[in-house]
Amino acid sequence: MAFKVLKSGLATTVQDAGREGYYNVGIPLSGALDQYSFRAANLLVGNEENTAVLECALMGPDLEFQRDAVIAVTGAEMAPKLNGTPASRNEAIAVKAGTVVSFGIMRIGARAYIGVAAASTCR
């Protein structure tokens, strides 16, 4: 695991692209609510676009990274902080092992996405 969850945020879940083709047996598509931001987070960190991400509702988590990784935050305006220092959204951010990445309350929007790629898997 690339990180340890210190605080989960208000409603942080793991989401992917959903399950197509099973509605006839009662399984809805589900998956990330904002498919564009979900895919953008993955592409920014070099993941396949359907890789699972963290979907945050209204308030983000606090994560302590256990190893080097690359993250991207997309969707609602939820600014990341690395050890208390503000970082950018909508771009790849290198995170060193031991760094605490925290997020506050969303200023605009309701869902933000955190894409994560461990450094050993980054392209």
Q: Residue 23 corresponds to which amino acid?
A: Y
pLDDT digits (tens, 9 = 90+) for 50-72: 999 999 999 999 999 999 999 99
Count of residues in the chain: 123
Kindly tell me if the per-residue pLDDT of 104 is higher than 90: no
pLDDT band at 118 (very low <50, low <70, confident <90, very high): low
**CA 67, 3, 7: angle at the middle one, nearest 5?**
145
pLDDT digits (tens, 9 = 90+) for 12-40: 999 998 888 887 888 778 889 999 999 99
Strands (E), 59-107: 62-65, 69-77, 80-82, 85-86, 93-95, 100-103
Distance of CA 81 to the CA centre of its chain: 14
Q: What would the two tokens of residue 119 be?
A: 């450094």
- 64 in Cβ contact with 99 (< 8 Å): yes
pLDDT band at 119 (very low <50, low <70, confident <90, very high): low
User: What's the pTM value of the predicted model, to 2 decimals?
Assistant: 0.90
